[in-house]
Amino acid sequence: MRDTLSITASSVDPALLELPWSLPLGEWPQSAIVSLPKGISRHLVRFSSLSGRVVAIKETTVAMARREYDMLGNLARLDAPCVDRVAVIAGRTDANGEPLPAALVTAHLRFSLPYRALFTQVLRPDTATRLVDALAALLVRLHNVGFFWGDVSLSNTLFRRDAGAFAAYLVDAETGELHESGLTRGQREHDLDVARTNIAGEIMDLEAGGRLEGGIDAVAIADGIVSSYHSLWAALTDAESFGTSEAWRITERVRRLNTLGFDIGEMSIERDTDGTRVSIQPKVVDAGHHQRRLLRLTGLDVEENQARRLLNDLDEFRARISRLGDNEELVAHEWLTRVFEPVVTAIPWDLRAKLEPAEVFHQVLEHRWYMSQARGKSAPLAEVLSSYIDTVLRHRRDEATVMGPPTETLAIPIVTSPIPVDDDDDAAVDWRDLV
């Protein structure tokens, strides 16, 4: 029983000991369970409250739990988008002394949702495309640090809103492998093939359940991850050759990568023996170009597209107040205190679980644009904010605490599950549609 329990964690939360580990996870009382939506899984997964935060608990073998715990730690050190590990619980026994499965505990990513919880009725083509593009970007980032996933799917991913797009996070690293020397093309293509197959199956599952908008081609959507992945991978890694008189193309390459949200940590530059041509190739590419700039200027830690949008507003603010030559950090502080923070603090307390502050600010900017277009002149921010709160935000669901039915375990080891999302958030979620 409890004296046989073994906890592996970088920092042990005493509250872990209070959870009912002597019961099979499927028999935990409702008092120990937090009901959140979860994709289909090969393992039983439940959510629970731990010291004021929500954690996901997955029953598995000791070896697999410890392997995945270590893998998540390695990915976190590489700054890869994934859930945070919390602990491995081993040595579990029931009241009769019979052994119970080990458990992997991970932190629930706030404001993130599985793809099936991102739409209310049916999946629309544009939403499906945005989800697949987000998964392609995640796969590129993982491959860039040498991670072979082995089980790429929408079901093994969590999505957060990112200024009109989505940011994807790895949830299940059980089948993953980390290769310090990098991945071969064959390994990358294998992951892509698995992703394409799984996504097609997930979309077809939605179609069978009447959750797919008419006219969507599941195979075409699944093929989209291949083209999106190859386009982004080429932009990050392809070598480029040009004449010595076109040295400006080195700067242009850096700017293109910055636009995509990446920074070059190292670049290989070679000149031909006759000195007429130069070849360049990025060697170390880090994601989060706009994130890092915004964090440096304001301390705000947000998603990449959100950072891009906030930085655009910051630059517009700088131009409006005619301080183009002023210290960038001072202007950023002024924008933060005069523009961003007043918008965020104006959101009523009972609505603050709807969306992250950065996403709220992005949507307020969108709302202002539409109101200004309709009027033919700029709409005052205070009026825009009031309109947004009453006509948009108040009618959204709480994405920090979206509630759903308990997750069930698959009877057979399927790698896939349903698919993407529809961004129709003005309607309330009917959880009968999510099962």
28-32, 171-175, 397-401, range with the lowest pLDDT:
397-401
Residue 433 has pLDDT above 50, yes or no: no
Residue 242 has pLDDT above 90, yes or no: no
10-14, 91-95, 121-125, range with the lowest pLDDT:
121-125
Closest Cα partner for 253 from 245, 243, 241?
A: 241
Give this prediction's pTM: 0.81
7-16, 31-40, 101-110, 228-237, range with the lowest pLDDT:
31-40
pLDDT band at 71 (very low <50, low <70, confident <90, very high): very high
33-42, 143-152, 180-189, 421-430, range with the lowest pLDDT:
421-430
pLDDT, tens digit, for every residue of 37-59? 665 667 889 999 998 889 999 99
Predicted local confidence at residue 270, as pLDDT: 85
Best mean pLDDT range from 2-6, 71-75, 414-418 = 71-75
Report, as an integer, the average pLDDT of 103-111: 93
Closest Cα partner for 425 from 332, 363, 376?
A: 363
Best mean pLDDT range from 39-43, 213-217, 416-420 = 213-217
| Residue 96, CA distances (Å) to 16, 74, 92, 225, 383 in order | 21, 37, 11, 50, 65
pLDDT band at 324 (very low <50, low <70, confident <90, very high): low
Strands 6-8 and 45-50: unpaired
pLDDT band at 421 (very low <50, low <70, confident <90, very high): very low
∠ CA 25-400-174, nearest 5°, is: 45
Report, as an integer, the average pLDDT of 87-93: 95
CA distance 46 to 57: 5
Residue 220 has pLDDT above 90, yes or no: yes
Which strand ranges, in their side-by-side order, compose the sheet holding 240-243?
240-243, 277-287, 262-271
Q: Which residue has the higher pLDDT, 250 or 348?
A: 348
pLDDT, tens digit, for every residue of 135-147? 999 999 999 999 9
Report, as an integer, the average pLDDT of 175-192: 95
Task: Provide the 3-class DSSP secondary structure of residue 279.
Answer: strand
Predicted local confidence at residue 119, as pLDDT: 75
pLDDT band at 396 (very low <50, low <70, confident <90, very high): confident
Sorted by where each starts, the structural domains of the chain and their CATH numbers stand as 2-107 (3.30.200), 112-236+416-434 (1.10.510.10)
CA distance 237 to 259: 15
pLDDT band at 273 (very low <50, low <70, confident <90, very high): confident
